[in-house]
Structure 1
Amino acid sequence: MELKHSEDCDIWEEDDDGGEEEGEEDEEEEYTRTSKALNAAQAKREAFRKLKDNHDATSKSIDFDDLLPHVGEFGRYQKLLIYFICLPACIPCGFHAFNQLFMSPVPPHWCSPPPELAEAGLSPDVVRNLSVPYHEDLGYDQCQIYDVNYTQILQEKILHPDESWPTTSCRYGWTYNTSIIFSSIVIDFDLVCEKSIFPTIGLSVLNIGGIIGVYLFGTVSDRFGRRISFLACLAIEQLFGFLTAFSPNFWIWIVCRFFVGLTIPAIYQIPFIISLELVGPTYRSFVTVLTCLFYVGGMLLLSAVAYLVRDWVYLCLVTSLPFFSYIIYWWFLPESPRWLLSQGRLNEANRILQSMARVNKTELPQSFTEKLKARMISQQAISVQSSHSSTGGMCKICSTPNMRFKTILITLTWFANESVYVGLSYYGPAMGNNEYLSFFLACAVEVPSYLLCWIVMDRWGRRWILAVGMIVGGVFATVTVVMPEDASQLTLVLYLISKFAESAAFLIIYPFAGELYPTEVRGIGIGFSSYVGGLGLVIIPFINYLGTEMLVLPLFIMGIISVFGGFAALRLPETLQQKLPNTLAEGEEFGKDFQWSECLTCIPSTAAEEEEVSESEPLEEIVSMEDLDRSKSVNGGPARPDEMTPLQKTTSLKERRGMLMKQSSVIGTPIITDSSGAMKLTFWV
């Protein structure tokens, strides 16, 4: 405040001198505070811009995803490694996950007669007629025998049983009709009657091993490397698959199956991760679908092998021995350079990247090594700091209502989808009149399902594919309950439509869940949902066991579960072309304003609209370094001719860019990464 030099003013100042001085001091303090605040805001803005510039300047040279364009994102090196090593490694997983279905076919059987009747010199038909009760609707009883004095009956020359004779359970074992099914663990271990559920228990134990093995081999992979983990996993799978053939009893057999189960699906997941870590983000969706197709290829091949090899012992050998040749991977399978960098093994990573560049006929940036070393040190410091500060786990995710609600929906949907998909796969041999053809068809329908899903999932969004796939699959599975018992072909058709729809949903559930969970807790969230979903694989064999009494009952139950999961998925927010949540606070806001009318919306807003919105957003709205990475996600120019996928080669440039250019989401990177960029197999304990 400025005062004029006048008499009146002087008199006034003289009268109120103390109050005026106080006012001037207050104004000066306020001015100082305002100036400091403005300077701090300006400094913060400048610091952020500087941080962004430094981050851009550094990461463009040293971030692995940004380095890949220099050495080749999908060049000759990656293609050779993926096509001849990683993808063939998926085949034994399909073999060992489902060959157990063909080890336990149940032939017609009945109780063996007592010794005095068997040694009486009578024909087999007369012996069976005298010892086994006969039912007009069901034929000879499979688990009951007449409990009478056969010595007296033979003395009295009675050749026809009396229906009033008392019965008891089989005392002398069982006789099997081996005219069609001549080899089975059911025959060798007498797994019938009160032991008929034992093969189902064996299938459940296989999946229990899988739940444990995912964490076990995931830990080995994250700590000791992908190469060591994969080779150990492969050795255990083939060794115990081989030893299964020599099991002297059921309990040894089930122990072998448990150890085989430890490697499923780790034997499939590890080469899948190696493939994803070697290619650029643009190509990860293609690699994901291709890996699924090779896995299905293993299942298709298994149906042919099982058809040709009907002896369960030889089937174990045929599905194990050929894969011992994979020992050559010891010399040809390189370690993941991403993992090497995350462990500080810069020289080894550099050698692999040099080889990659040489095979792809490209060159590494000259300043690569030093800048990568600096980035590696800073990222390791960030990893240590984040490991000390990360607490809360699932309690942290469920602490807010919207995140808690979405977590419940994701977990329920995952449980329903995975249980039904695997349950339908297990039930394939029971459908139709030929178990081998039925299983082949059940696997074959997955191929067009995956290809269709690959084409439309970046156009129609994730939620609708997931929800519609589960609802349609559930409805067709449920409808089988109204089919006549003799309509086996029509029931098979309905089953195949259901499997087709469920396969599309199965492909999308993992990346969709990864996009819904905020980056801050994505690993914990996906780990929790996938482990709960894995529990369904332990239960589903027992649901399929109900089919021994009523063929379509398991389909009806799985259909109800699938429809329920599909409607739960409809309530989840769409993630395609949306700014994905980074922090828990963002996750809480994401989908919070969901309207039920959105359930009817299939195609989300276009990428062009999103680009207009992103261009209008101020710099300050980027709130984390991850957002900076998102803003630079691979949207670059067209791929080189030697890096094109089949879909890129067969579509126009415009269609190619629209289909393969990924939004900033985890659809291209469905495996969780740590701060160093290495993908994680274990993320929830």
Structure 2
Amino acid sequence: MAFSELMDRVGSKGPFQFLNMVLLGLPVFGLANHYLLQIFTAATPAHHCRPPPNASTGPWVLPKGPNGKPEMCLRFIYPPNASLPNDTQGATEPCLDGWAYDLSTTDSIVTEWDLVCDSNRLKEVAQSVFMAGTLIGGIVLGDLSDRFGRKPILTCCYLLLAASGTGAAFSPSLSVYMVFRFLSGWSISGIVLSTSILNVECVSIQMRAIMSTVLGYCYTCGQFILPGLAYAIPQWRWLQLTVSIPFLAFFLLSWWIPESVRWMVVSGKFSKALKILRQMAALNGKKEEGEKLSVEDLKISMQKEISLAKAKYSIADLFRTPNMRRVTFCLSMAWFSTGFGYYSLAMSVEEFGVNLYILQLIFGGIDIPAKFITILSINHLGRHITQASTLLLAGGFILALIFVPPDLPTLRTVLAVFGKGCLSSSFSCLFLYATELYPTVIRSCWAKKPKQEPEAEKASLRIPLQPCGPGLDPS
């Protein structure tokens, strides 16, 4: 009896799965807030050089740039009406006394720590530090979830995200802010990894597409929440705190999330796995079937995976066989190109010359049809065609942006929106590949590979698989 048949006996689509999806899906609404938070907390308002202390009263005159607009990073050394030699009139210098900002709409870390002009790249560094946290967190926490379980890592990451997000809200300096943002990215990796696995492991193969799609749409809806919060809370510290505190409640709710039965059986925790299966059967109206289950049934249904779990694995196992080398190389390239393009567009919203809040709503809205079209394409055209098409289309839209001048903001916005939609579809395909092409024992971090593959796993690397849904994607 296979594990999928075991799940069917206790009910693979019932109240238990619905409750599990709700508990896992609620925090996903808040993940978009943290991924895209710096669009608003690091917004750059209109600014110009602050007048020197000895400046004469009256309107402050600023030098003009090539576009005819006042310079934001230069000021006159001497007042324009001063009686000076011709070679010194019009001379400029950097802003030596700081900047004056237009705070009529919002404040941000840019206005807090003067991240403009020569320091304007530091806000991108802060976002890069956050993304570095997601990278390192994925490597470390994926391995820890294999050792200690999916649920403990998920619970700890909820608490860490609440604490680090709150710490970022009270940061006294940019360096401290970056440390807390790194920890936020670290914890989000653990949440995404554990949520993706726990969401699909207790349902049938036929239900995986639906469950993964619903969870993906939770993230999409979260993108609509962020602009509303940013508009209602213009102070960046309060906005940072608002999107972080809910994860303290999710930390408490996570105690009702069941551990992965598959992981518990592989780890030898048969009695606990049997208890969860019987709870699942009781909630799904199959209590009698649950009472009939025994430890022997669990051992028989997962005999191959239990034997594989006794082996030791390392990162080198990702490249041990030709099939694994090919899969790892192709997935790595696809993940890099998709992630790089997606976040380049998502974090450059304010550069398109359109209202920041409206454009973010449009960027979030494009994911709804993109995910739906991806599901149809996967089911009718296959994953290879869908993945290749989305990457080619996204690349075309992004390249077209290079040749569109800045004075055509509407056209640039349309190209960026369609490019982001294609990359969102690519993310959906990649999560499908990652969860199906790798064996169960390395699914959470891609860091382990059995030395002897079961025939089913070998076949999965050679022939197309049935789609199981787009998964939880950061799109």
Secondary structure in 2 matching 1:80? helix
- What fraction of aligned residue pairs are identical, expressed as a percent? 26
Quote the residue 1:146 is aligned against: 76
Q: Which residue of the other structure, out of 283, 290, 296, is the alignment partner of 2:220?
A: 296
Q: Flag the 1:333–1:159 CA change in 2: closer, same or farther, 3 A.
A: farther
Structure 1 residue 187: Cα displacement: 0.8
Structure 1 residue 192: Cα displacement: 1.0
Quote the residue 1:668 is aligned against: 468
Structure 1 residue 204: Cα displacement: 0.3
Q: Which residue of the other structure, out of 116, 135, 146, is the alignment partner of 2:65?
A: 135
Distance 2:328 2:152 in 1: 34
Q: Which residue of the other structure, out of 362, 365, 368, is the alignment partner of 2:293?
A: 368
Deviations 1:240-283 (A, max 9, x none): 11121111121111111111111223223312211111111221
Secondary structure in 2 matching 1:87? helix
Contact 2:10 2:290 in 1 (8 A): no
Higher alpha-carbon deviation: 158-167 or 446-455: 158-167
Q: Flag the 1:386–1:321 CA change in 2: closer, same or farther, 3 A.
A: closer
Distance 2:295 2:324 in 1: 42
Quote the residue 1:562 is aligned against: none
Q: Flag the 1:140–1:147 CA change in 2: closer, same or farther, 3 A.
A: same
Q: Which residue of the other structure, out of 175, 194, 198, is the alignment partner of 1:251?
A: 175
Quote the residue 2:394 is aligned against: 473
Structure 1 residue 366: Cα displacement: 5.5
TM-score (norm 1): 0.62
Distance 1:500 1:234 in 2: 29
Instruction: For 1:64, give the aligned amino acid.
Output: F
Matched, 1:69 2:8: yes
Structure 1 residue 461: Cα displacement: 0.8
Secondary structure in 2 matching 1:110? strand
Structure 1 residue 526: Cα displacement: 4.9
Instruction: For 1:105, give the aligned amino acid.
Output: A
Deviations 1:609-639 (A, max 9, x none): xxxxxxxxxxxxxxx85439989xxxxxxxx
Q: Which residue of the other structure, out of 609, 627, 652, is the alignment partner of 2:456?
A: 627
Structure 1 residue 361: Cα displacement: 0.5
Higher alpha-carbon deviation: 369-378 or 233-242: 369-378
Secondary structure in 2 matching 1:291? helix
Distance 2:383 2:305 in 1: 34
Q: Flag the 1:630–1:184 CA change in 2: closer, same or farther, 3 A.
A: same
Distance 2:432 2:96 in 1: 55
Structure 1 residue 235: Cα displacement: 0.8
Larger Rg: 1
Distance 2:437 2:9 in 1: 32
Matched, 1:424 2:345: yes
Distance 1:334 1:516 in 2: 25
Contact 1:394 1:525 in 2 (8 A): no
Secondary structure in 1 matching 2:200? helix
Q: Flag the 1:418–1:310 CA change in 2: closer, same or farther, 3 A.
A: same
Quote the residue 2:48 is aligned against: 110
Matched, 1:502 2:432: no
Quote the residue 2:128 is aligned against: 204
Q: Equivalences for 1:281-320 in 2 at 5 Å? A: 281-320=205-244
Distance 2:367 2:440 in 1: 34
Distance 1:257 1:227 in 2: 23
Q: Flag the 1:256–1:142 CA change in 2: closer, same or farther, 3 A.
A: same
Higher alpha-carbon deviation: 439-448 or 490-499: 490-499
Structure 1 residue 666: Cα displacement: 7.2
Secondary structure in 2 matching 1:183? coil
Secondary structure in 2 matching 1:415? helix
Matched, 1:458 2:379: yes
> Structure 1: which 5+ residue stretches go unaligned?
1-59, 529-581, 585-623, 632-662, 672-685
Instruction: For 2:140, give the aligned amino acid.
Output: L
TM-score (norm 2): 0.87
Deviations 1:141-163 (A, max 9, x none): 22223345x8xx9xx97699986
Contact 2:160 2:183 in 1 (8 A): yes
Contact 1:341 1:376 in 2 (8 A): no
Quote the residue 2:200 is aligned against: 276
Distance 1:522 1:338 in 2: 13
Distance 1:330 1:508 in 2: 28
Matched, 1:176 2:5: no
Matched, 1:79 2:21: no
Q: Equivalences for 1:408-447 in 2 at 5 Å? A: 408-447=329-368
Q: CA-atom RMSD, angstroms?
A: 3.5
Q: Equivalences for 1:425-574 in 2 at 5 Å? A: 425-512=346-433, 526=446
Matched, 1:88 2:26: yes
Q: Equivalences for 1:302-381 in 2 at 5 Å? A: 302-362=226-286, 363-364=288-289, 368-372=293-297, 374-375=299-300
Structure 1 residue 459: Cα displacement: 1.9
Quote the residue 1:31 is aligned against: none
Q: Flag the 1:349–1:670 CA change in 2: closer, same or farther, 3 A.
A: farther
Count of residues in correspondence between the two structures: 467
Structure 1 residue 665: Cα displacement: 3.0
Deviations 1:389-428 (A, max 9, x none): x89535534xx5x876665444333321222123222233
Quote the residue 2:307 is aligned against: 382
Distance 2:319 2:270 in 1: 37
Secondary structure in 1 matching 2:382? coil
Distance 1:376 1:318 in 2: 46
Deviations 1:161-219 (A, max 9, x none): 98635433222211222234x41111110111111001000010000000111123223
Distance 1:664 1:66 in 2: 22
Distance 1:426 1:219 in 2: 30
Q: Flag the 1:515–1:231 CA change in 2: closer, same or farther, 3 A.
A: closer
Contact 1:238 1:323 in 2 (8 A): yes
Distance 2:327 2:272 in 1: 42
Q: Which residue of the other structure, out of 119, 125, 139, is the alignment partner of 1:195?
A: 119
Q: Flag the 1:525–1:306 CA change in 2: closer, same or farther, 3 A.
A: closer
Structure 1 residue 669: Cα displacement: 8.8
Instruction: For 2:11, give the aligned amino acid.
Output: G
Contact 1:425 1:443 in 2 (8 A): no
Contact 1:89 1:268 in 2 (8 A): no
Query: Which structure is higher in RCO with an 8 Å CA cutoff and minimum separation 6?
Result: 2
Contact 1:144 1:170 in 2 (8 A): yes
Deviations 1:332-373 (A, max 9, x none): 222222222222222222222111111110132665214136
Distance 2:312 2:164 in 1: 37
Structure 1 residue 520: Cα displacement: 11
